[in-house]
Chains A and B, each alone.
Chain A
Amino acid sequence: MTTTAPPGPASATTRPRASTPRRLRAPAAFLLGAVLLLGAAPLALPDSRLNLLAKYLCYAIVAVGVSLAWGRGGLLVLGQGVFFGLGGYAMAMHLKLADAATAGERLPDFMLLYGSSDTLPWWWQPFADPAFALAMTVLLPMTVAGLLGFLVFRRRVKGAYFAILSQALAAALSIWLVGQQATTGGTNGLTGIQGFFGYDLADPVNQRMVYFVIAVALLLLMAAARQLFVSRYGELLVAVRDSEERVRFLGYDPANVKLVAYVVAAGMAGLAGALFVPAVGIISPALIGIVPSIGFVIGAAVGGRASLVGAVLGAVAVAWAQSTLSDAFPAAWTYLQGLLFVLVVGFLPGGLASLGALRRTRRRAPASVRAAAPTTSAVATASTKETA
């Protein structure tokens, strides 16, 4: 009796995984991105444009998470506005409190205006501490996502159900915020933020600093997401997306696999919201409801949901087109936006990024792949080798 299989000639050796130029491609792209974002853009763009770019980069950070959860994990996250908002409000609450302290007031300005009580609500109080507030910008969204994801994935609520629930969450949060005029600023949101940890946001130099913080955050998160994409976890996530049930029979709990992607994406959206506040100076329910939540997905879809760079560029491009075209041609832009979405998602599900990939694969593999594959002979020879 022989054992099941004798170690073959190639077994247990490390095979070269990719040729050197290909292995260097990612770091090279990363470096190029860094040069463009940190060097070229600040030099080439006037302050007002740079400020707009900072805003778009915040959307791009959300898109990084969307690309992970939706592109790789197949989780249609239609409620990213919730996490963007939680991060944004956590940051804005701290900055409002800091502004009030600077002005010598006990309460943020809008509370003096609308508030019925002259004491700070208890749930505002810890946000006076900068470390607490900063931690909350990420932890709060991750906790909410963790809770919802745990309940939903554990009971195998998936696909459309999950998408609708996350959308409902976005609607509920924005409605709730509108209803709490006295403590959240209601429809107006938290506005008129002046300082950012002691720096005056009206000063263009400090605006530049905010831009750099956002650009560095985007680059770091992209690097982290890329690591997740190429890791074993990334492969497992794709496996869960394609056949959740099969993964379960391999001894994994797919609920946990999905939960990680969802929570990480929520954390990224939260950080994006937090950085959005000093760059734009406002966070409001209109920025986090159903429509902006779908907007976060649009950019990633147009650029290419499964491609990290595609999703980021798509988010920036759509945000840029939105603010440029919607002012000049509001009606035409809405039609264009709708049409773009119908055409790209409907007929080019890989997004614009797949155009390049499509050309590459056509060039490389002209013949039928299946024809080249040996079939039974391989098993037959393997078996004779061992029974001999």
Chain B
Amino acid sequence: MTVVLNQSFTGVGIGAVLLLVALGLTLTFGQMGVINMAHGEFIMAGAYTAYVLQRSVDGTGLSLLLALPPAFLVAGTIGALLEWLLVRRLYARPLDTLLVTWGVSLMLQQLARDVFGAPNVQTRAPDLLTGNVSVAGVTLAANRLAILGLALLSVLALTLVLRLTPLGRRIRAVVQNRDLAEVSGIATERVDRTTFFIGSGLAGVAGVALTLVGPIGPTMGTNYIVDAFLVVVVGGIGQLKGSVITAFALGVLQSVLEYSTTVSVAKVAVLVAIVAFLQWRPQGLYTLRTRSLA
């Protein structure tokens, strides 16, 4: 029983990481349809922001918390810049966007190598987050718990922004009918850029969180990017709740499979499960039904 619980919690932990890295994509890919392969490098930018801050401010673990806003800003700004320079010219060609942003991701990785060096670096976690927490005989890693909290908090914040603020209403209007939104006086270009800014900023937040569970390096983003896209694909385009459910489901599945087989076999099995799932729901878990062709 404890094994099952432990394994499920490990899965929830993996799911929280997946959710956090995929959350920005639910905006840029899910809402705007942009396949941004440089999203992984925005995560990296957030992680390096935390690293720089920790070295220059005080060197203790608490600076990770302080790093969240600047990481959001740094990654968001790079994202908005990318949108302005390239992505907006390619809205009609989603597959080309994928390749172009991959070129950008190559350059950003090299930039990180030139600035911070090729070897991985580490941040120091706050003492509070280094140990384990025991609840009812189940051992929970404190850092995973913190990531889970951050992920849920981010989802909550994003939901509130989309539901309640004028900006959120504009974002949803543009997604549902761009032309109508435009003639209704919404500056769609600005909404696009803002959406991209928030989506990329969330990658920065994810980057700070990832420093708790692994090293910071130029290629850290590539390890997560494909999994993050899979979460959005399975969750369903434009549906936040789909991504949330999917992230945790994939996390638990991965962890259970890892326990019963090996990490590498689990990876393949999860992919097989995803392809099988898409047989049942090709548009993902939640879809917006429309009448339009194609």
Contacts and interface: CB of A to CB of B under 8 A. Distances in A.
A313 to B, nearest CB: 18
B58 interface: no
A339 B103 contact: yes
A337 B275 CA distance: 33
Interface stretch (B172-180, B201-209, B262-270): B262-270
Given A244-B294, A342-B100, A346-B96, A176 B267 contact: yes
Contacts of A148: 275
A172 B293 contact: no
B262 A167 contact: no
What is the predominant secondary structure among interface residues of chain A facing chain B? helix
A164 B229 contact: yes
Contact of B264 (A78, A179, A243, A335): A179
A161 B86 CA distance: 22
Given A160-B35, A164-B226, A172-B267, A294 B102 contact: yes
A245 B226 contact: no
Contact of B106 (A74, A167, A168, A334): A334
Interface string B25-61: 0000100010100000000000000000000000000
B99 A338 contact: no
A244 B294 CA distance: 8
A341 B100 contact: yes
Interface residues of A, number: 48
A239 to B, nearest CB: 14
B114 interface: yes
A291 interface: yes
Contact of A155 (B105, B264, B279): B279
A176 B95 contact: no
A290 B222 contact: yes
Given A163-B98, A175-B264, A346 B230 contact: no
Contacts of A334: 106-107, 109-110
A244 B293 CA distance: 10
A159 interface: yes
Contacts of B278: 151-152, 155, 157, 161, 165
A331 B96 contact: no
Interface in A245-295: 245, 290-291, 294
Contacts of A190: none
A349 interface: yes
B106 A160 contact: no
B294 A178 contact: no
A176 B268 contact: yes
A168 B232 CA distance: 13
A76 B95 contact: yes
Given A163-B35, A338-B107, A345 B94 contact: no
Contacts of B86: 342, 346
A243 B294 CA distance: 9
Nearest to B96: A345
A201 interface: no
A240 interface: no
A53 interface: no
B279 A151 contact: yes
A168 B107 contact: no
A341 B102 CA distance: 8
Contacts of A173: 268
Given A151-B279, A180-B264, A342-B86, A301 B110 contact: no
A238 to B, nearest CB: 16
Contacts of A165: 230, 233, 274-275, 278
B262 A179 contact: yes
A297 interface: yes
A169 interface: yes
Interface string A288-325: 00110010011001000000000000000000000000
A340 interface: yes
B289 interface: no
A245 B293 contact: yes
A171 interface: yes
A334 to B, nearest CB: 4
A175 B267 contact: yes
Interface string B227-265: 101100100000000000000000000000000001111
B65 interface: no
Given A338-B106, A341-B106, A342-B86, A245 B294 contact: yes
B104 interface: yes
Nearest to B222: A290
A289 B148 CA distance: 30
Interface string B79-115: 0000000100110011110111011111101100110
Contact of A346 (B89, B110, B114, B229): B89
B99 A168 contact: no
A161 B89 CA distance: 21
A69 to B, nearest CB: 12
Contact of A159 (B94, B103, B275, B293): B94
- The listed residue with most A CB atoms (<10 A of its CB), out of B86, B93, B95, is B95
B282 interface: yes
A337 to B, nearest CB: 6
B275 A152 contact: yes
Given A155-B278, A155-B282, A164-B230, A331 B99 contact: no
Given A156-B282, A175-B264, A331 B114 contact: yes
Given A151-B275, A151-B278, 11 more contacts: A152-B278, A155-B278, A164-B229, A176-B264, A290-B226, A294-B102, A298-B99, A337-B106, A338-B107, A342-B103, A345-B99
Q: Which 3 A-B pairs have the closest CB atoms?
A: A179-B264, A341-B103, A338-B106
